A and B are shown apart, each in its own frame.
Chain A
C-alpha cells in the first residue's frame, strides 16, 4: 500500500521530519503519535499525496483507493448530507449511488437528518458525515487525523467498527490510548 524510504519534509528552513521509512500493507495499522505541531498532519498529507515530500522515495496507491479524514470533516456546510455524499459518489463513479449513500447514512445515524444543512449539525455529527465521505468509495487505505475528535461514545464505537474491518490504516493522534492495541507499527514524533 505505502512504501516510503528516507521521507523528509521541510517548510523553508523548518524541518518537519526527515529520514522516515514507512512500509504498510493491507491490514497494517500505523499509529503516529506526538504533540500538536510535531508533524503528524503533515505526514498524513504527504501519505495522501496532498503534499509533496522534500526528499525521499514514496510509493502510494492510486488516489481512488485512499480515504482521507483531515482535521476538518471535509464536507460542505451549506449542503445536506445527501448532497455532500451525492457529489462525491458521482466524482468517485460509484454505481447505485442512492442506495450506497443511504446505507452509509443509516450506519452512521444520519439518515433522519439527510435533508438538513450540515452547518446546523454538531461537530460530532459533522465528523460522522466526514467518516461517511471517507468510506463512500470503500478505500483500501485509511488516513485518519485525530479521527475520534468530537465523537460521542456511540460515534466512537462506530469508528471502532470501521477500524475492525482491518483495512491498511494510518491514524495520527496525540491521544493514542483508544487505538494503541490495534497498532502493528508505531511512529512517535517529538
Chain B
C-alpha cells in the first residue's frame, strides 16, 4: 500500500504541474490534429483504409514523442531528480507515476485524435481503439524510461527520438496489423524491463 501511496502522490504532483503549466497536453493536442489534417490533404483520394491507419499510428507515435520530451522538464530544469532519488521511496515508483502521467496525457490526446481521424479518413472500429489503448501502455512504459535516460544526457533532444523510435516500430506493426496479443506482449515485456531498469537510470555512474 505504501508503494501505491507513493505512486499516487507523485502522479498527483505530475498532473498538478501540467494543470498549472499547461505545456504538454495542449501541444500534444495541437500536434496530433495538425498532423492528421496534413495527412488528410497530402493523401490522394481513394487511398486504402490500411494506408490511412498507418498514418494514424505515425501521428500517435510522434505525438507521444512530443509528450515524452516534456515529461521530465520540471525534474531537469529544477534539478528535482536529486531530491526525488534521495527520498526513501522505491525508485520504480518514480517511473510508474511518470508513466501513468504520460499515459493520461496520451489518452487525452487520443480522445480528440480518434474522432478527428474518423472525420478525416475512415471510421474507427473497436479493434483499433483496443490496439491504441494497448499501444499507449507500452509507449508510456518504455518512453518514460528513455525520457529519464535522455534527461541525464547532454544531447537529450537527439537522444530521446534515437532511443524511442526504434522501440516504437513494433507498436506500429502491431497497431496497423491489429495484433492485440502482440501489443499486450510488448506491454508486458517492456513495462517489466522499464520498471526493473529505472533504478539504474536515475543514479549517475
A interface vs B, CB < 8 Å?
A: 45, 48-52, 62-64, 66, 68, 70-72, 74-79, 83, 87-88, 90-93, 117, 133
Contacts and interface: CB of A to CB of B under 8 A. Distances in A.
A52 B203 contact: yes
Interface stretch (B80-88, B131-139, B185-193): B80-88
Given A51-B204, A52-B203, A78 B21 contact: yes
Contacts of A117: 20
B88 A93 contact: yes
Nearest to B17: A78
A74 B203 contact: no
Instruction: Specify the main secondary structure of chain B where it touches its partner.
Output: helix
Given A78-B17, A83-B16, A117-B20, A91 B82 contact: no
Contact of B203 (A50, A68, A70, A78): A50
B6 interface: yes
Contact of A51 (B9, B20, B21, B203): B203
B89 interface: yes
A91 B93 CA distance: 10
Nearest to A91: B87
A83 B19 CA distance: 14
B6 A70 contact: no
A50 B81 CA distance: 9
A80 to B, nearest CB: 10
Interface in B1-32: 2, 5-6, 9-10, 13, 16-17, 20-21
B50 interface: no
Nearest to A46: B204
Given A49-B86, A50-B86, A52-B205, A93 B13 contact: no
B88 A92 contact: yes
Contact of B78 (A77, A90, A92): A77
B162 interface: no
B9 A63 contact: no
